[in-house]
Chain A
């Protein structure tokens, strides 16, 4: 079969339009089934007992009274899990504490009971003897040699001497000579920036329902960003074969990276195994905040040199991220992304991964990048303003472009940073007048975007409609996007394709829905699966026509003879070929399995106007515009939605959200009352400008768009607040007390 040539610019029929999403009606009527909506006959209620201490040795757990309570069907502690492979040792320790409770909220035991009331009562009957230990919550404090130590003997060799064992590893990236570059600068800005720990804040708490029989076969339903990951992780923890555990992803009520690991799932499976009954577990909001992964808090030193005409001569950053109780903060990605928007001769970043007595950090939308961008983009802004230069022009002057050797190693292919900066410069927002106490800020951001293991199976039904099975939970409309790409490729209407998220028994391995990979990688696999189906359908038409299959091409939803030598045959539509499939060789399907590469990085530029009340320090977001390269926007409404949602999460991070710990190491704001995510009345409309610089690694040019939008806001807002308040803000969140203190400090000084 002769496929469409990919050399000429493609005209899309479905991609780029805005059809109704296939899961829309279920979600507006309340029919959609999320994690907590799944039930099974005879199910028990599972509940977790959690440590009230930030750091404590677990001397003894006595569960006998709980076990004796009527209605209690199973109780588990860490001892019940036995030994696990090293690859999941930290994961199970985070799900159920071993020798030590490492943070306030760390699970120490769990029960399965006939009702929530009995489960609650049972938890109170479990007696845990703790030996409370000194704790440390702050990243800089945790690095000091005399800090309380969480884990002994796990520090990597990359860490120089003189640091606490809490410093788990050190990474370094860059090229050139920083000292030489700084010597060439007309001015050097050197500052320390700090960001608070924020939570993904998905509205749906973690939930799952597990059943496991005595034969070792198990089923699990849960809200997750990756049910294949859940299967593999749980199987490893419980010593099961992966094929014996089938995991089905429910609808997912937000994840943003926070549902890329397991918390309840292995516990529910073990409780089910021990009780012989289905066990459902649902977290409360307070459990979500205390015990699931927030992002790292950070402390970052930046040193940047610039000439008076705006050329950056050197960029250095040392990044210190605490990732909670176990190694694995995203400091590596912060270190790699910090200077990614710049074409620099001399650049170096050093990152330290530090453990503290806080819940283990989980991925949060572009993990590690927003804090790094906050630090670098604040310093660049300060330098530009110090020279009286236009901050957009300075960024354009130094912008990474095709051929730039990125600070983290690779050489960029075609990228869209300059396009976003030029669009920003040309936008009316940039020149709109500002009033008193108002300031405007801009900042750039970058995300790598991922590919990874992906499977798609596309089936042609006997009546000529098409079903697509993919293995990635749909967190923002991806079923619509897959449906669109399948329809586009097959040349049939959007309404004749339906996409489902298959369980782990139905497809091969699929990487988690993360790294902004789904529209890119699953889209690519969907297109290739459709191409395989088209190839098969061309073959069937060739068989009917009695010509060579190479002489058949697929155009506009039908097989057609290709060229004058193929003979004269009426085109055979997909429907017609489907109808005779049984007689031409059997059912028709296309499938594609790949470790997708070529994801294509994504850049964005954000512009924001803020007003600061000089009497109270209260900031108000007046206007916000996002400019970002999407490669190709498959469903533009959902691309805009990603831009808007990411920007607003960034607004929360910049202004109000943070984990607040008391002296006792206990989380003080484990609820939506005082963990303050933005509400509707805090915000203006979020304007968006989609740029499309095709990604050469995708058949339609698609780039992931989900994560980049949270990278620029922290710095863009800090730059705007600093301009409005007349004082440079270096610590997030920029809460009103912090802004007011800075204003008053400025006056006093």
Chain B
């Protein structure tokens, strides 16, 4: 059982790793690269806590093999802030109490950022459907949806 050598980019950093063929990208991030910001809530693509982007496309890292990352550009929650500057979504989530326990928060932030890049002026319904694959059991989603909408409004004003 020989390991696969993968060369990829994670949050803009050239990265190499060895993995087993059956390792998911989430396994690689968490167990081989020590990037535990992406969470495993289900392992079956039903909860979204492991959300990352690959070549700009939002995916569940539990539903992708680590080997598939060869030559791709992966971004994770760890790449969301710039130095000590939080992304506006991160800041807004804290300000608006859009998290309680915080386990779903990394996945929701990655997903929400992906939404706003695609659609800077989403309706409430669009935000709710975009985030339907990100389960949150604490908040009832209310404050999350509001925080995403407000950040979108802030970003529109700023641009």
Contact = CB atoms under 8 A, between A and B. Distances in A.
B71 interface: no
Contacts of A26: 102
Given A285-B42, A683-B141, A30 B47 contact: no
Contacts of B101: 202-204, 251-255, 475-476
Contacts of B42: 285, 671-672
Contact of B97 (A117, A284, A638): A638
Contacts of B97: 18, 21, 477, 635, 637-638, 640-641
Contacts of B78: 29-30
Interface in A5-53: 18, 20-21, 23-34, 36-37, 39
A203 B128 CA distance: 18
Nearest to A476: B100
Interface centre among B42, B90, B133 (most CB of A within 10 A): B42
A677 B133 contact: no
B145 A680 contact: yes
Contact of A29 (B30, B46, B77, B95): B77
- Chain B, interface size category, equals 35 or more
A27 B90 CA distance: 9
A254 B137 contact: yes
Interface centre among A200, A635, A648 (most CB of B within 10 A): A648
B36 interface: yes
B152 interface: no
B117 interface: no
Contacts of A25: 86, 90, 94
A256 interface: yes
Nearest to A199: B137
Interface in B119-157: 125, 127-129, 131-146
A679 B103 contact: no
Contacts of B96: 637
Contacts of B146: 685
A644 interface: yes
A37 B49 CA distance: 14
A431 interface: no
A683 B145 CA distance: 11
Given A641-B138, A649-B137, A33 B99 contact: no
Nearest to A651: B140
A200 B138 CA distance: 10
Contact of B86 (A29, A476, A477, A641): A29
A645 B100 contact: yes
A201 B140 CA distance: 13
A120 to B, nearest CB: 10
A301 to B, nearest CB: 32
A285 B103 contact: no
Given A641-B143, A677-B137, A34 B103 contact: yes
| Interface SS of B by simple majority | loop
Interface string A236-272: 0000000000000001111110000000000000000
A203 B39 contact: yes
A565 interface: no
Interface in A615-668: 635, 637-638, 640-641, 644-649
Contacts of B102: 23, 26-28, 32, 251, 253
B146 to A, nearest CB: 8
B81 interface: yes
Contacts of A677: 135, 137
Given A285-B42, A681-B132, A27 B105 contact: yes
Contact of B41 (A205, A252, A477, A649): A205
Contacts of A128: none
A476 B90 CA distance: 18
A31 B88 CA distance: 17
Interface string B32-57: 00111111111110110100000000
A339 to B, nearest CB: 28
Contacts of B93: 24, 28
A686 interface: yes
Contact of A30 (B99, B106, B134): B106
28 contacts: A24-B99, A28-B94, A28-B102, A28-B105, A28-B109, A203-B39, A203-B103, A253-B41, A255-B101, A256-B137, A476-B138, A477-B97, A635-B97, A638-B100, A644-B139, A644-B143, A645-B138, A646-B140, A648-B139, A649-B137, A672-B41, A677-B135, A680-B127, A680-B129, A680-B141, A681-B125, A681-B131, A685-B142
Closest 6 CB pairs of A and B: A30-B37, A253-B103, A27-B102, A648-B140, A24-B94, A644-B140
Interface of B: 20, 22, 30, 34-44, 46-47, 49, 76-78, 80-81, 86, 90-91, 93-97, 99-106, 109, 125, 127-129, 131-146
Interface of A: 18, 20-21, 23-34, 36-37, 39, 117, 200-205, 251-256, 282, 284-285, 475-477, 635, 637-638, 640-641, 644-649, 671-673, 677-681, 683, 685-686
Given A476-B101, A671-B42, 12 more contacts: A28-B93, A29-B77, A29-B90, A36-B39, A203-B47, A285-B46, A477-B100, A638-B97, A641-B139, A648-B141, A678-B140, A679-B132
